[in-house]
Every structure is written in structure tokens, then in C-alpha cells.
Amino acid sequence: PCTGSSCSGPIAITSFADSTNIQPGDNFPREFHRGDTINIKGLYGLNPPGLVLDSLWVTHDVYAADWSGLEYMGTPQMVVNRHSGLGTVDGNIDFNYIIPEDAPFFGAFHDSTSGGPVANHIIQVRGFYPPDLGLDVFWNIFIKVVPKETSIQRPELQGLEIFPNPATSFITIQTPGNQEKRVQLFDATGKLVLDKRMSSELLDISGLHAGLYIIRVEEDGKVAGKKIIINR
């Protein structure tokens, strides 16, 4: 079933988290939270002709930015195993993969805000041939894992403005309501490094290290988040 330009060896992922615009090594990372369920659909088959996969697995792996080593590997989840009777040897993939609760935050091939390389987070669908052949094939899709409380995909607080960005010592935080607000900053590992209530617009960040941060602003029960860069 896996033939043509859409295939990566014998594996073809046709739908990932309900998106059908999928290519192997997709460098436009999608954002997810810990515990999110990702539905993966696709096909796998005979390639080379007559040679069937022994098993098929899905995992979330994180490599160093320069691909020098594996920094994190989620527990592999088996999709197909022809010895145990799980799945079929030649056919369809329709599998729900859950982002591990201990998955590192952020990552991807590059970050469009900083422009610099960070860790490579991938969902990997990997197929193995019989052990005596020593062969395997895989399909990688880049992702990001972001904290739920700092999700920037659908902010509820409209009109949040933060500048300058990049910043050095101070940032200005403007909201339409201009009320007392709670401001939190998370570093690139997801660690909370600042938690402050403030009524002014000026926030002192001189004590923080240079790098990429997520800032979360809560005002009048509404929340929004943005990425900021601190330069030194």
C-alpha cells in the first residue's frame, strides 16, 4: 500500500493530529501539551518487494541541536508486532500517541523567534525488519511541547503589548484594561523564574539570564502569553 512520492521507505504518514499536510522531516513544528493525544494515520507495506516489517513503533525523541546525541526518549509504544498479533503486517496505521507527561518543553529544528537552533523534538514512527537483517526505517515529524498555562495558540487576553523585544534590562507590558496584573516568566526548560503582581507597566528583568522566555500575563481573569528574548 505504500508507493509513490508520499512514502519514506515502506512508511507513509498521511494524517498527523488531523492535519493531512505531512511530509517526512517536516520542519514546521506543531505545538502540543504534555498529555495531549495525537492521532497518527498512514500506510506501511512491502518495500523492498517481499520484505515485510517485523514491528512498528512510535516514540517522542529529543536530540541535541547539533544532533550530537539523544537527550530524551519517551517510552516507545508498539503499533504493530507480527509475532504477538498486534496490528497487521501489511496495512493501515491508525494510532493514538500520548505526549509523555515528562516530555521536555519547547524544542524543534529551529525557533522562529530567536532564529537559533534549539533541541530537536520529533515524533518518530519507526519500523524494524527481522532482527537478523539489521534494518530499520523511520518517519520523523518535528513538534514543540509547551506548558498548558503558557499556551500562546489561543490567548484570551486581547491587545497585550510587550516591548522592546529583544530586551536587556526592562520591558514594558501594556494591556487595554491597564489594571493590576499577574506576570510570570518561564525559561526555555519550562521553569518558572519570575512570578509578580504589578500595577505599573515597567518590569525589571535585569536579574535574568539571556535567552528565550515565555511571559504569561493575567488580568481580570483573562490570560495571554508571548515569547520574549533577553539579550546581554
Q: Are strands 120-128 and 136-145 parallel, antiparallel or unpaired?
A: antiparallel
Same domain, 124 and 25: yes
Same-domain status, 126 and 44:
yes
- Identify whether residues 136 and 156 lie together within a single domain: no
Last residue within a domain, chosen from 98, 127, 146: 146
This prediction's pTM: 0.57
CB-side neighbour CA atoms (13 Å) of 113: 18
Residue 136 and residue 191 in one domain: no
- Residues 142, 153: one domain? no
pLDDT tens figures, 59-95 = 999 887 777 888 888 888 888 777 766 665 557 788 8
Tens of pLDDT, residue by residue, the chain (232 residues): 333 333 445 787 888 888 877 766 665 667 888 888 899 988 876 555 566 777 888 999 988 777 788 888 888 888 877 776 666 555 778 888 988 888 888 765 444 444 455 678 889 888 887 777 767 778 888 888 888 765 444 446 888 899 999 999 999 999 988 889 989 887 766 677 888 989 999 999 999 998 888 888 888 878 787 888 899 7
Indicate if 35 and 118 belong to the same structural domain: yes
The answer to whether residues 79 and 42 belong to one domain is: yes
Write the CB contacts of 153 (distance below 8 Å, at least 6 apart in sequence): 31
CATH number for the domain that contains residue 161: 2.60.40.10
- Domain closes at, from 146, 178, 193: 146
Query: Residue 3: inside a domain, yes or no?
Result: no
In a domain, 2, yes or no: no
Q: What pLDDT, in 10s, does the model give residues 91-127? A: 778 888 988 888 888 765 444 444 455 678 889 888 8
Question: Which range marks the domain in which residue 153 is found?
Answer: 149-230
